[in-house]
Amino acid sequence: MKAQVAIEFMIIFGMFLAATIVISLAVWNNVASEDKSYIEFEAGRIIGLSSSSINTAYLEGDGFSITLALPDKIGLLNYTMQLDGNTIWLHALNTSYSRRLLTNNITGSFSKGQNRIKNVNGTVVIS
């Protein structure tokens, strides 16, 4: 009788353990998906603000100046931004995001923190 109770207990405990593992995996998968969505959203926001600032400086003409603040990280991830002709690139989490710019007459590069974007005789200068 005691052996039967012990076996039934082991079966019930095993089923409970299996259910707990399945639920934990489902929750972990959902959290990982939300983290990736957050990174994609923030990367899109940062590259959108950067490209809009450059395009605005270009369109406003000589003497226009604007300040842009870039975060140190996207969530817990480092990222890099670079200019290539009339395209701006953001690299984060083994993924690259890009936006086209209205001009390729740009000097300087983005840094994390405060950036000054100004139009000097038709050239967009980032400092």
In whole angstroms, what is the distance from residue 58 CA to residue 100 CA? Answer: 13
pLDDT in tens, 50-104: 999 999 999 999 999 999 999 999 988 899 999 999 999 999 988 999 999 999 9
What pLDDT is recorded for position 3? 73
Which pLDDT belongs to residue 24? 87
C-alpha pair distances (Å), 8 with each of 5, 11, 16, 19, 115 = 5, 5, 12, 17, 67
Q: What is the pTM of this model?
A: 0.76
Task: Report percent pLDDT > 90 for the chain.
Answer: 65
Domain that residue 13 falls in: 2-126
Kindly state the average pLDDT of the residues 8-12. 87
pLDDT at 23: 87
The alpha carbons of the chain give a radius of gyration, in whole angstroms, of: 25
Structural domains of the chain, count: 1
The mean predicted confidence, pLDDT, of the chain is 91
